[in-house]
Structure 1
Amino acid sequence: MNETTSIRPFTITEKLDWLENRYWKFGQDDTLADHLHDLYEVDDEGQMTAQPRRDPLTGETKGLMVLGGSGNGKTALLMRTLRADPVLTEFKVDKPGNTLFITVPPEATIKKLAEIILQQTGYAKVDTKLRAADAWEIARHRFGMVGINTVVIDECHHILRSGPGRDVLAAIQSLKHIMQSERGVALVIAGVPSLRDAILSEPSGETYRRFREFHLSRISPGSTAARRFGQNFLKSAEVLGVQVCEEDAVAERILFAEHGQVGRSVALGKEILRDAVTRKREVLSLEFSERVFQKSNPNFGMTPFHPGAWVAVKKELEAIGWGA
């Protein structure tokens, strides 16, 4: 069951499945789609195609850098885009597609990333003695063989860490070569702000200039995104059959508790609703919302879910430097 279904979930299992798959929009989807549109050719109707734009002189494709702090929802946003976009279809070994989505493990090197690409594109016999440069050459060749036009690298900052056995400059240039080769693809890389700093460390700046930047910001109180968060939370509660008292300002408290970080705020909001569903509570209370929050944050005394008017609770929390 997904977010577009018109059938309301009835059983606890159906409700939990619906909630897990429900995607909450904040307006960042449209901005990302606009940035992606610039990476590709368009047809005579002005619609984006799957064919990456190429520089007529160099033949190079273009890139996009998606930046945001930990918990700001980069991964969910990118994966949602792949699911919803009619042009970009995710590639799997057993399923045709034009877009390869890769999540970089924390300790991965640039060679390891090339090996991951080879494995995910069906190249079964990866020689562990293969040099990084050779692995990347094969990987770029694989894109053309299996029909991949777009590569999305999530947590890309992991391959740009300095340390023993790592070559940051070579890693940066490997990203550039993805867009330079004959089988160049549109490249989307995502990571924390240090990703941008690492790429800027290349003396020539050649790789950085090939990327445009899309920064994911936190949700500010009173913003359009905050209003949309509240609407998402209340609509989800309604579908799940959970009553939320407007004066409790639960959505505002969630955003304050997670400092406006999109991913963390959505996770907490859904966990609070899940708790109400699994325990068959028809009305959401601040008491039980606080219990959910404290399971992951046990060291706080007073929390944003403290009983009382939200304006007064927020003022007191700010006065004691809560969460600073």
Structure 2
Amino acid sequence: MTNASKGINLPVDELRNLHIGTPSYRSLKDNLARLFRAGPDGTLTHEPVLFTRGTETHGIILIAGAGAGKTPDIGEAIGSIEALTDNHETGVPRYIHVTVGSPATLRSLAVQFLEKLGLDGVGDRVKVHELWTMVRRRLQRLGISLVVVDEVHDMFRSTPGSETDAMFRMMKSLMQGDHPVVLLLGGTERLLAVTGLDAQVNRRFRKVIAQPLDCGGNADSIHKTVAFYAGKAGLALSIRDDLAVRLIHGARYRFGRCVEITIAAIDEALRAGDDTLTGQHFETAWGMEEGCPLTANVFAVEDFMSIQLEDDDEIGERIQVAREKKRRAKATPKSKRGKKVA
């Protein structure tokens, strides 16, 4: 890596490590704090608050679209409770963060939990209920108080309903017993639609919903965010009045994506040796990210609001449907393919 590249990468990396609090983040932080007991001096401890006569914990469901900044918000909220970030007895944090793999099964989810808990290479012959018993024991042994399960909506892409219900029941059971933990589930809007059908989920989980940005109500704050990041990178700012609205639309109305696009534009400016961040840098950065022609670039055309942008969740859903069709086609005998009914 050249010295010039280092001089660009360092400030860009620093920008990526910044965190700006949003209303949904503040709500997440506040609700998470309510689920842990305070010590004599008022400082939050790692001990969960127990409900239902001391028999179970409660949890949080964080709903945020792809690119809203859900994962950074979770990390910052956990970091605000010092007792969760370090266990002096074990040398590891008092929480684990699991991202659901797709497709997910009760077994694969248990294996993911165990890997995060330091147990790799679990044998295929171990029964599923034994795996979850191992999970419980490891949570207790390591003094884990918080379990974060991210991308939970992926459990609903191709997993049978009965399997999904079993996974939910098993995760909820971690909130009871001799060592109950707090659960923080994160996912897109699909998660809210599914969990809303479960009365026990509604009772046990607080809901934090990251609202999409609004062009009228949030344009000014997004403009200030762009100016803030440009200033941090040592750049002046020269953008047209409607760039914030273009940015909101191009980011699918997600705050996290607005930040990512802004940082990418700043990176373009620094690599070009420019001292001012302009709309051209946004046009270049967004075009490379989207792989779109100039006529479909929200930072290039006048009627940018007419450009229809697909969401990652919608794309993922279509990919999964296509995979299922391909799988069913392979499972169908050749003699039956294309046969018409008289």
Whether TM exceeds 0.5 here: the answer is yes
**Partner residue in 1 for 2:55:** 59
Contact 1:140–1:184, Cα closer than 8 Å, also in 2: no
Q: Which amino acid aligns with 1:264?
A: R
Equivalent residue runs for 1:193-208 within 5 Å:
193-202=189-198, 205-208=199-202
Matched residues in 2 for 1:54 and 1:216: separation? Answer: 27
Note the C-alpha offset of 1:117. Answer: 1.1
Correspondence 1:89 to 2:82: no
**SS state at 2:131 partner:** helix
SS class of match (1:188): strand
- Cα-Cα RMSD: 2.6
Match of 1:211 in 2: 205
- 8 Å Cα contact 2:37-2:48 kept in structure 1: yes
Does 187-196 or 278-287 show the bigger shift? 278-287
Distance of 1:218 and 1:112 partners within structure 2: 32
- Counterpart for residue 246 of structure 2: 253
Structure 1 residue ranges without an equivalent (≥5): 1-9, 308-312
Tell me the distance in 1 between the aligned counterparts of 2:262 and 2:149: 28
Inter-partner Cα distance in structure 2 for 1:161 and 1:291: 34
Please name the residue that 2:154 is paired with: 158
Return the alpha-carbon distance in structure 1 between the equivalents of residues 237 and 278 of structure 2.
8
Q: How does 1:1-324 map to 2 (within 5 A)?
A: 11-55=7-51, 57=53, 59-89=55-85, 95-163=91-159, 167-202=163-198, 205-223=199-217, 226-245=219-238, 247-297=240-290, 298-299=292-293, 301=295, 303-306=297-300, 313=302, 316-318=303-305, 321-323=306-308
Sort the Cα spacing of 1:65 and 1:53 in 2 relative to 1 into closer, same or farther, 3 A: same
- Give the conservation status (yes or no) of the 8 Å contact 1:62–1:187: yes
- 2:203 maps to a residue whose letter is R
CA distance in 1, matches of 2:196, 2:11: 46
Displaced runs of 4 or more, over 6 A:
none
**Superposed displacement of residue 294, structure 1:** 1.3
Alpha-carbon offset, residue 286 of structure 1: 2.0
Query: How far is the alpha carbon of 1:140 from its aligned partner?
Result: 1.2
Whole-angstrom distance in 2 between the partners of 1:296 and 1:116? 31
Q: Which residue of 2 aligns with 1:6?
A: none
TM-score by length of 2: 0.79
CA distance in 2, matches of 1:84, 1:38: 13
> How many pairs were matched up?
301
User: Normalized per residue, which structure has more helix?
Assistant: 2
Q: Which amino acid aligns with 1:221?
A: C
**Shift in alpha-carbon separation, 1:275–1:85, aligned structure 2, 3 A:** farther
Offset at residue 274 of structure 1 (A): 1.0
Deviation at 1:246, TM superposition (A): 5.4
Amino acid of the structure 2 residue aligned with 1:322: I
Query: 1: CA distance between counterparts of 2:161 and 2:27?
Result: 38
Code of the aligned partner of 1:127: G
State the distance in 2 between where 1:58 and 1:51 align.
12
Helix, strand or coil at the partner of 2:215: coil
SS at match of 1:49: strand
